[in-house]
Structure 1
Amino acid sequence: MIQNTMFNTSTVQPLQMQTTSKVEATPSESLRQFGSYLEDALQSVASQEQNSHTMTDKLMLGQVNVDQAMISAQQALLSVQLTTQVRNKVVEAYQEIMRTQI
């Protein structure tokens, strides 16, 4: 089974637990946390791409099977496609906000 490791859902808490156990963060802190979350997600995509390249090199040397290399390549491809789609949606939302008249 292929599992997306770009977004780690094991550390997500229910909304009720988050609001009752934590004091509300300032906008600056929230922005910093969101920035680090995005940075971690992009690092994960980059590491999957690097893993795909490594597996391809090992395939050429005969150290891994074709199926292992293909699974690695497809995981990297799906991560890049997901990242591209998220970026497209963010750009769309930004453009929509800019078109909104006040």
Structure 2
Amino acid sequence: MRIEPIKLMPVGSRLTSDAVLPASGDKSFGQLLSDALNNVNELQNSANQASVDLAAGKLQDVSQVVIATEKASVALQLTMQVRNKIVDAYQEVMRMQV
């Protein structure tokens, strides 16, 4: 059984030749965060509107209001956890010694 040796190549050549470029339809990280925040905002607005409609007597089903409120609450909690992780990662990068 013959084992082929590892071929040496210059360090910079691999980085430039095999670079992966995002497709034209891919969104940037900032755009993904913006979309997620807009989604959370829409959930909050729909929960608020459901509460107002229930108080005004337009809705008779309390469970719809509770579900909308819980969806908004969970989405907001998730957003806060993502924010905390991003802040922690930023602080960790800032503590790195160069």
TM-score between both structures, scaled by the size of structure 2:
0.70
1:62: Cα distance to partner? Answer: 2.0
4+ runs deviating over 6 angstroms: none
Aligned residues: 76
C-alpha distance in 2, partners of 1:86/1:55? 27
Which structure has the greater CA radius of gyration? 2
Counterpart AA for 2:86: V
Q: CA offsets per residue over residues 32-67 of structure 1, 9 Å max, x none?
A: 622111111100000000000100011112222111
Partner of 2:35: 40
Instruction: Pick the structure with more helix per residue.
Output: 1
CA distance in 1, matches of 2:92, 2:32: 24
What is the SS of the residue equivalent to 1:40? helix
RMSD: 1.9
Gaps of 5+ in 1: 1-22
Identity, in percent, stands at 40
Partner of 2:93: 97
Deviation track 1:60-89 (CA, whole Å, cap 9, x = no partner) reads 122221111011011001111100000000
TM-score by length of 1: 0.68
1:55: which partner in 2?
50
> Which residue in 2 is equivalent to 1:4?
none
- For 1:19-38, list aligned pairs within 5 A: 24-25=21-22, 33-38=28-33
Higher relative contact order (CA 8 A, sep 6+): 1
